[in-house]
Amino acid sequence: MRAWIFQDARQKKRLGDKAPWTVGWFDPEGRKRSKRIGSKSAAEKFRRKTEGELAAGTYSTVSSVKWPDFRAAYETHIAARSAATIETSKISLAHFERVASPVQVSKVTTKTIDKYVAARSLEAGSKKGSRVSPSTVNRELRHIKAALGVAVDWGYLAKLPKIKFLKPRSKAPSYVSPDEFAAIYQACGVATWPRVPNIDTADWWRALLITAYLTGWRISELLNLRRANVDLDQGVAILEAEATKGKRAERVPLHPVVVEHLKSINGFSVEMFPIGGGRRPLWDQFGEIQTAAEVSKPGGDRFGFHDLRRAFATMNADRLTADALQALMRHQSYSTTQKYIAVARQLQQTTSQLFVPEISPPRKASK
């Protein structure tokens, strides 16, 4: 396959020898292409490069698709994924678009990513006087990388840019202790969101928190739990594959205390824990409950929902066998479960042995 260089006749007539040079070639699909280079030497260099790629079979074309158009198409592409994944992806790509201002997908390079990371890391964090954490930037980078990978597959980007993740700040893992959980549980009365018909807001929060504390489920799994998949008489719940991180359906036994709390919010919604909108207010409300309970992490930070999951593992690591703990937490890798285990695990695999915090019975749901 051959490439050639030439000067546009009109440009040549107007500018003479100063007219820019252009490289022309036919791509593997037989389409005629050209690229204006400038100087003759640069055009000749590009001609040799293109001709070599065509001969070696390494030639590739990239589209001039605009970034906003690609982003819209990508969001349609991931529409079948979990609500949490979709929301986090949209937030991550929105930050990337705002900070990096990409115009064409094909122009996104490693330099673009590096500039984004540098600028994003200097932006204000959620806590007064703080900056965006490395963990937050890394989470956004994972979603940006996934999107750019699809861009490569679609032919919009020649190759995936090299993405360098930040080193997370070193800090001790945190979890909600039994006393802290009891205080948070009692403070649920201050909650004003979500407003679910026929369900008291405080009961909704107590049910959510005790279920998280006694199952170790991720918050996304709790919010995706469908009422039809919960059998309160048998004390079991089914987590659909689409709702779990490992994409595996699970039949999970529920502790009687969890069943008791779920009965107090037995409404008519499709979800067991309906919120009626976006999930961002969930974290804000959880923070307000902690403020009322006068509890926080060392240093004053708020607990996150993953601290409830970590508490489940920490409090039960010496109460259940390793296999039982791994099954209940639904870790794909045994090494992940081992991170939570510090002592021998030889107890019977039954939910009756789960650690249960000392809490007062939940208030009856308001009629």
Q: What is the pLDDT of residues 88-124, one digit of tens each?
A: 999 999 999 999 999 999 999 999 999 999 999 999 9
How many residues are there in the chain? 367
CB 312 within 8 A of CB 200: no
Mean pLDDT over each residue of the chain, to the nearest integer: 85
252 and 196 share a domain? yes
Identity of the residue numbered 165: F
Q: Could you tell me what percent of the chain has a pLDDT over 90?
A: 54
189 with 295, same domain?
yes
Number of domains in the chain: 3
Confidence grade of residue 351 (pLDDT, cut at 50, 70, 90): very low
Q: Which CATH number fits the domain that encloses residue 327?
A: 1.10.443.10
Looking at the domain assignment, is residue 158 inside a domain? no
Residue with the bigger pLDDT between 265 and 361: it is: 265
Residue 254's SS3 state is coil
Contacts of 280 (CB under 8 A, 6+ apart): none
Structure tokens at 314: 């920490």
Question: Are 221 and 258 found together in one domain?
Answer: yes
Residues 125 and 184 placed together within one structural domain of the fold: no
Backbone angles phi, psi at 206, to 5 degrees: -65, -40
Q: Is residue 332 part of a domain?
A: yes
Q: Does 263 lie in the same domain as 232? A: yes
Each residue of 221-262: pLDDT tens digit? Answer: 999 999 999 999 999 999 876 655 556 677 889 999 999 999
Q: What is the pLDDT of residue 367?
A: 45
Q: Is the whole model's pTM more than 0.75, yes or no?
A: no
Q: Compute how many other C-beta atoms are within 10 angstroms of the C-beta atom of residue 272.
A: 23
> Shortest CA distance to 1 belongs to which of 21, 31, 22?
31
Per-residue confidence band for 347, with pLDDT thresholds at 50, 70 and 90: very low
CB 365 within 8 A of CB 261: no
What are 154-203's pLDDT values in tens digits?
878 888 999 999 998 766 678 899 999 999 999 999 999 999 999 999 99
Q: How far is CA 228 from CA 121, 143, 195, 231, 265, in A?
A: 43, 32, 21, 8, 14
Task: Classify strands 32-38 and 230-231 as parallel, antiparallel or unpaired.
Answer: unpaired
Q: Look at residue 148 in the predicted model and tell me its pLDDT.
A: 96
- Look at residue 364 and tell me if it is in a domain: no
**Which has more confidence, 3 or 320?**
3
Is residue 360 a part of any domain in this protein?
no
Pair (317, 249) in one structural domain: yes
The contacts of residue 137 (CB under 8 Å, 6+ apart) are 117, 120, 121, 166
248 and 302 co-located in one domain? yes
3-class SS string, 136-182: HHHHHHHHHHHHHHHHHHCCCCCCCCCCCCCCCCCCCCCCCCHHHHH
pLDDT in tens, 12-31: 888 888 899 999 998 877 87
Q: Which residues contact 16 (CB under 8 A, 6 or more apart)?
A: none
pLDDT at 35 over 90: no
CA trace torsion 330, 336, 338, 342 (10° rounding): -100
Poorest-pLDDT segment among 42-51, 88-97, 249-258, 350-359? 350-359
User: Which domain range does residue 249 map to?
Assistant: 178-353
Task: Give dist(CA 283, CA 308) in Å, integer.
Answer: 13
* pLDDT for res 203: 97
Q: Residue 146's pLDDT band (boundaries 50, 70, 90)? A: very high
- The whole-number average pLDDT for the span 113-137 is 93
Strands 32-38 and 236-239, by their bridges, are unpaired
Tokens of 101: 């201002």
Do residue 189 and residue 243 come from a single domain?
Answer: yes
In a domain, 363, yes or no: no
Report if residue 193 sits inside a domain.
Answer: yes
- Residues 16 and 98 placed together within one structural domain of the fold: no
Nearest-angstrom CA–CA distance, 284 and 277? 14
For residue 242, is it within any domain?
Answer: yes
